[in-house]
Amino acid sequence: MIKKHEKTTISLDKVLREYSDASENFDADILGEFLNRYPEYAERLRNYASVWLMSRCATAEEIASEVVPDEEMLPIQSRLLSRLYSLKDSQAQTEDLGVVIERLKDIKGAQEFDRIALAVLGDFESDEEELLIAEYIDPGLVEEPSWIKEGFGKVLGCLPELVPVVLVEYRSQFTHHYSANGKPVKSEPRSWADAVESLSVSKERKKMLSSLDLEN
Amino acid sequence: MYSKILDEILLLTESERKSRLNIELGQEDFIPDEVVATLMLSSWREKWPDADVYTQHLIRRLTRHVRAHVRKNPGWYDRGGGFDVTTEDFCYYILELMIEDKVRPCHAEEAFGNYVWKKCLDCADKLYAKKRSAGSSLDVDGVKAEVEANQCDHSDLSADVPLSPEESLIQIEEYIEEFLADKQKLGRIEEVVQLYLPDNERMAFTFHYYGKLKLFSKKPEVMTVSKMMGVSERSVRQYLANARRIIKERLT
């Protein structure tokens, strides 16, 4: 049972759905209970209850008499089907994302990191470059050159543009594995160029690692 | 309840199934909406080659339900961008929810009509919340209503002494009660409430008249409009007075 004033993590949509399913018709006591349980959503709960009370439900006869002619129905069916297929495609992409994140989770141990660093960077001058890769994965580096995304995309088996999305999702799942009393304080991720600059490698190597295009 | 019919349908050949789906409500061998929902969801999840057929049938039935509900609620389509757009948006939202629902069988497969109604309410709530978050002071209807309420105030001031909200309430009470007792007139009030009342007036009015809540009570266990809205009794009375004036003005 969620206590009053305790901040909930449940989403507004879930709370409204739970409220809507809690009774067949409007019940003031149930609304009161929800207002008490989720004070942060009080305004929306009140709005929902008010809309519920003032809205009129069509009767079975009214629904049955609602005949939609084919010339009207066919375009509606076509548009809705097309929207559903777009939804399906985006769901498939999300599922693919899940597979890629699992692949990333499987990267464990020094040997695996070596393999990834080599695959992305080609070769390295110092072992510190492995740390660069580790930092890129978590907590993350911003403004990375596109060849880094391409390299990671090849290693993980996904499109380069999906790499940042995968990493963000991976980090969010990764932090859930910890149980800390307080919220961990996270610093802003530094830029790829800053991270390269702090490496103990030659100037040429830094230049190469910072270049936007690996060919140059 | 529907598993027997579903099993029976699944035993049919593809063409027999299609002709059964075309049987209209009230005729023999009509397939209940819940069974069509299960067929559509199964075909969608399990990638049946004829998934589109079931989806189209479900869309047809869903559209019927949604259109009937939307038609009865002018406030919904007034805020939703028109009757057709609102109907289609509601249908899409419901289909999306059905597809994403992980529960088996989902609510739509057990009580389709009730499920659709509840989801229409979700959509309507979003429309009203959207309007609210956009700023009620910029709400043209709301402004109109407030102006009208003010105009109405002036007519009430024709007496030498201005009426207090409480006095106005008593004066309008009989008029509203008379309307609420008449089903036809009640429909007109419901329309005004949906279309023209500003948020606070709408909430106070719906909680008090439709929800049958008292305005105020000294007993902490009694649910009142004042408690529901988190405002004083005086504010509730003011909202109700405004609401009644707007309704009266719209009805005459």
- B124/A51 Cβ within 8 A: yes
Closest listed residue to residue A124, CA positions, set A137, A111, A114? A114
Q: In the predicted model, what is the mean pLDDT of chain A?
A: 81
Residue B158 has pLDDT above 50, yes or no: no
The whole-angstrom separation of Cα B190 and Cα A56 is 8
pLDDT bin (cut points 50, 70, 90) of residue A93 is low
Question: What is the number of H-type helices and E-type strands within chain A?
Answer: 11, 0
Q: Which residues contact A80 (CB under 8 A, 6 or more apart)?
A: B59, B88, B91, B92, B95
3-state helix vs strand vs coil in chain B, percent to 5: 75, 0, 25
Domain final residue, candidates B133, B166, B194: B133
Domain final residue, candidates B133, B148, B175: B133
Q: Name the β-bridge partners of B214.
A: B224
Domain final residue, candidates A41, A65, A89: A65
| ipTM score assigned to the predicted complex | 0.79
Tell whether A215 is covered by a domain.
Answer: no
The whole-angstrom separation of Cα A184 and Cα A196 is 26
DSSP state of B214: B
Tell whether A85 is covered by a domain.
Answer: no
Per the structure, the count of domains in chain A is 2
By residue range, what is the domain housing residue A31?
1-65
Question: In terms of CA atoms, which chain A residue is nearest residue B192?
Answer: A54
Closest listed residue to residue B165, CA positions, set B191, B138, B204, B193? B204
Phi-psi region at A5: left, alpha or beta (left = phi > 0; alpha = psi -120 to 50)? left
Tell me, yes or no, whether B126 and B27 share the same domain.
yes
User: How many C-beta neighbours within 10 Å does residue A17 have?
Assistant: 15
**Calculated CA dihedral for residues A60, A61, A62, A68, nearest 10 degrees:** 100
Q: What is the pLDDT of residue A119?
A: 83
Question: In terms of CA atoms, which chain A residue is nearest residue B202?
Answer: A50
The whole-angstrom separation of Cα A203 and Cα A201 is 7
Tokens 């009570």 locate to B217
Tell whether A90 is covered by a domain.
Answer: no
Tokens 């959207």 locate to B130
The whole-angstrom separation of Cα B34 and Cα B110 is 6
Tell me, yes or no, whether A200 and A105 share the same domain.
yes
- Are the beta carbons of A100 and A169 closer than 8 angstroms? no
Closest listed residue to residue B138, CA positions, set B199, B205, B192? B199
Candidate from A54, A67, A83 with C-beta closest to B210: A54
Domain final residue, candidates B72, B101, B133: B133
Rounded to an integer, the average pLDDT of B60-71 is: 97
Tell me, yes or no, whether B157 and B237 share the same domain.
yes
Closest listed residue to residue B100, CA positions, set A75, A14, A133, A201? A14
Tell whether A82 is covered by a domain.
Answer: no
Q: What single letter denotes the amino acid at residue B224? A: T
CA distance B129 to chain A (A): 7
- Are the beta carbons of A186 and A114 closer than 8 angstroms? no
Q: What is the pLDDT of residue B169?
A: 47
The whole-angstrom separation of Cα B3 and Cα B227 is 45
The whole-angstrom separation of Cα A195 and Cα A130 is 12
Phi and psi at residue A159, to the nearest 5°: -65, 145
Residue B165: CATH number of its domain: 1.20.140
Q: Name the β-bridge partners of B224.
A: B214
By residue range, what is the domain housing residue B62?
3-133
Q: Name the β-bridge partners of A191.
A: A142
Tell me, yes or no, whether A103 and A45 share the same domain.
no
Tell me, yes or no, whether A122 and A31 share the same domain.
no
Tell me, yes or no, whether A53 and A112 share the same domain.
no
Candidate from A44, A47, A76 with C-beta closest to B63: A76
Range from A32-41, B18-27, B102-111, B158-167 carrying the lowest mean pLDDT: B158-167
A195, two tokens: 């991270």
Per the structure, the count of domains in chain B is 2
Tell whether A79 is covered by a domain.
Answer: no
- What is the pTM (predicted TM-score) of this model? 0.67
The whole-angstrom separation of Cα A101 and Cα A170 is 6
User: Which residues on chain A are in Cβ contact (under 8 Å) with B95?
Assistant: 80, 84
Tell whether A70 is covered by a domain.
Answer: no
User: How many C-beta neighbours within 10 Å does residue A208 have?
Assistant: 16
The whole-angstrom separation of Cα A159 and Cα A152 is 9
Q: Is B231 on the interface with A (CB under 8 A)?
A: no
User: Which residues on chain A are in Cβ contact (under 8 Å) with B82?
Assistant: none
Candidate from A48, A49, A73 with C-beta closest to B63: A73
Over residues A185-214, the pLDDT tens digits come to 556 778 888 888 888 888 888 888 888 665
Tell me, yes or no, whether A190 and A124 share the same domain.
yes
Tell me, yes or no, whether B118 and B189 share the same domain.
no
The whole-angstrom separation of Cα B13 and Cα B86 is 37
Tell me, yes or no, whether B107 and B183 share the same domain.
no
Tell me, yes or no, whether B113 and B64 share the same domain.
yes
Over residues B190-209, the pLDDT tens digits come to 899 999 999 999 999 999 98
Question: In terms of CA atoms, which chain A residue is nearest residue B87?
Answer: A76
CA distance B194 to chain A (A): 7
Q: What is the pLDDT of residue B64?
A: 96
